[in-house]
Amino acid sequence: MKCADEFRSRDITGPLLAELNNCLSRPVRIMEVCGTHTMSIFRHGIRSLLPEGITLLSGPGCPVCVTPASHIDAFIRAAELPDVIVATFGDLIRVPGSKNSLAAARAEGARVEIVYSPMDALELARKENNKKIVFPAIGFETTVPTIAATILAAEQQQIDNFFIISAGKTMPQPLELLMSDPELEVDGLLCPGHVSAIIGANAYLPLAEKYSLSCAVAGFEPADILAGLLSIIKQIENGQPQVDNCYTRVVSDQGNIKAQGLINRVFTPEDSEWRGLGLIPGSGLKLQEEFAGFDALKELAIPIEATEDPKGCKCGDILKGLILPPDCPLYGKRCTPLHPVGPCMVSNEGTCAAYHRYSEKR
């Protein structure tokens, strides 16, 4: 981890902060899209070091947070079926659906196992061959390639008791939607490092041009984030919005062509419901017809039923960057990490959870 330590050294972050302070001549609003950015900003206390004129807004970049309750309900329905084990990423298990969560279903006897990768779920399917294993396939471009690779592996190894509930999402469409919203005043975009590794820095060019948006692709260490913010501020100050790739050790302009190929081989775009943002055309991923046999919804006849967001929950406005968590009437009162009402409070990388864990504001 020596390499990470260097990006956390005051010798590097100190000068970046000083330059940030010098460059800034007016208040700016910057959205950090990715939940991992949100967490890292809190974890390293970056907000406490930034000049006052910089307002950071958290975007819709936490896959757990944007998964609608109707999908969570479907995951729970799957777990309650006889002979089914839901093998899920740990982040999902406490997320409230319309009635309860996977954790509550597990307590009542449903089989829910935590896995760290979809390949682990496939391994479980191999071991428990008299059970059906259902993997809730949530995630963005970062996670979807490994899910696609797992489907291909399952096909090749002829494992017929492995299924997914496809709930993958792609990032450019919601960003386009948000930036076209006149209510939302954003000067700059801190683009997600991991997603960008797959889709490439060029994916943000249309946004930068169309909305005169200053963009920087950044990694997740403090020095990465500060370098990204500095680039955005400089672009704003110079009046020259563009896409600056500050994470070249991981991200290329074109992205990971092989991973993109995997996604396209197994999935095809569809309209998708985002918690808080509504239906966004072309922003979801469904299995290609060829792989329909892996679709748990079809094979196990699990319905997706429309749900209503919990009363008073402002996760939607928070995901859009319209308000900050403490502005939600439920925040810190009815909605806490121990008893989350909305998804932004559940996931480790949810904006509300990060605020609640790390910030002084209550």
Give the residues lining the site for another protein (CB under 8 A): 1-2, 4, 8-10, 13-14, 35-36, 42-49, 63-64, 89-94, 114, 116, 120, 138-140, 142-143, 194, 222, 336-338, 348-349, 356-360
Of 134 and 236, the one with the shorter C-beta distance to another protein is 134
CB of 222 to another protein, least distance (A): 5
Taking the complex as a whole, the smallest distance from the CB of residue 179 to another protein amounts, in Å, to 22
Nearer to another protein, 36 or 231 (CB): 36
Both structure tokens of 288: 């290609």
Task: Enumerate residues 6+ apart whose C-beta is below 8 A from 160.
Answer: 293
- To another protein, the closest distance from the beta carbon of 338 in angstroms equals 5
Q: Which residues pair with residue 57 across a beta bridge?
A: 31
Would you say 243 and 205 are in contact if contact means Cβ atoms under 8 Å apart?
A: yes
Alpha carbons within 13 A on the beta-carbon side of 255: 24
Q: Which residue lies nearer to another protein by CB, 96 or 241?
A: 96
241 or 343, CB closer to another protein?
343
The torsion angles phi and psi of 64, rounded to 5 degrees, stand at -65, -45
Closest CB to another protein among 210 and 339?
339
Please state, in angstroms and as integers, the Cα–Cα distance from residue 349 to each residue in 156, 206, 306, 352, 355, following that order.
Answer: 34, 27, 25, 9, 10
Cβ 357 to another protein shortest distance, Å: 5
Integer Cα distance of 189 and 170 in angstroms: 17
Dist CA 33 CA 101 (whole Å): 26
CB of 305 to another protein, least distance (A): 25
Report, in Å, the least distance between residue 346 CB and another protein.
Answer: 9
Q: How many Cβ atoms from other residues are within 10 Å of residue 235's Cβ? A: 22
Q: b/e map of 164-187 (b: 16 or more CB within 10 Å)? A: bbbbbbbbbbbbbbbbeeeeeebb
Q: Which is nearer to another protein, 198 or 208 (CB)?
A: 198
